Amino acid sequence: MKNTLFKAAIESGKILKENFEGSFNIESKDVISNLVTEIDKKSEKKIIDIIKSDFPLHNVLSEEVGAIDKDSDVKWIIDPIDGTINYAHAIPLCCISIGIEEKGEVIMGIVYNPFSGETFYAEKGKGATLNDKKITVSSENEVSKSLLVTGFPYSSDKNPTKQLDVFTKIVSSDIPIRRLGSAALDICWTACGRFDGFWEYNLNPWDVAGGYIIHEEAGGKLTNFSGKDFNLYGKEILATNGLIHEQVLELIQSV
């Protein structure tokens, strides 16, 4: 499956590069800022075609086409462009994210940014890599000295966990925060130690499936905002180096 995973990511990455800064159709989904482009759809089709060619009986869950169920124990979870708004505005902070779930457990994942050439990859029990070099989370143990990253829901009414209030709380504590616009890259950049922690609400499985296994295999910790085990199909994610996890949880829960 690893060869198919890499082939799907690289071939779809070519589509993103070929059409970058070009003219293509852009539509809005549920809200005006939640975009889908024709390049998302072309990238998605390429990925699914490659998977179907090698594993025709495997299940697929992808952002644009939804679920393709084949009654298999294996599911490919696909985001053909994570960071579509960035891509639509010719900002090269976007990626292809693919996770492979078997019997309810993510066993392999890839996050590929074709513009930077960075390929994050992990397999269950075998560690995580960036361009074939092993990566680990940071060693920072004080949240006050940390660099965090986050994102926000597309719709302002989807704020049950007071995401904006949490953001304000952390910023007012003089802790620097970045927003890249790609949850998959946020998780991977935390996995390789560029960031010390990432949190976000209202994500979907395809946003985090690839990055989840990479972060876990890099030695990071993932939970929901209550501190319970992370659920790929839940809506809350806190991913940190583990050392500052409880400190960030305390900030989130204090709002």
Instruction: Give CA–CA dist 98/121, Å, rounded.
Output: 10
Instruction: Give CA–CA dist 192/87, Å, rounded.
Output: 23
DSSP reduced 3-state for 127: coil
Strand stretches in the chain, DSSP E: 26-28, 35-37, 59-62, 66-68, 74-82, 95-102, 105-113, 118-123, 128-130, 133-134, 148-150, 177-178, 197-201, 221-223, 236-240
Residues designated catalytic:
63, 79, 81-82, 84, 207
Neighbour count for residue 172 (Cβ, 10 Å)? 8
Whether residue 180 contacts residue 66, with contact meaning beta carbons closer than 8 Å, is answered with: no
Instruction: Give CA–CA dist 253/45, Å, rounded.
Output: 41
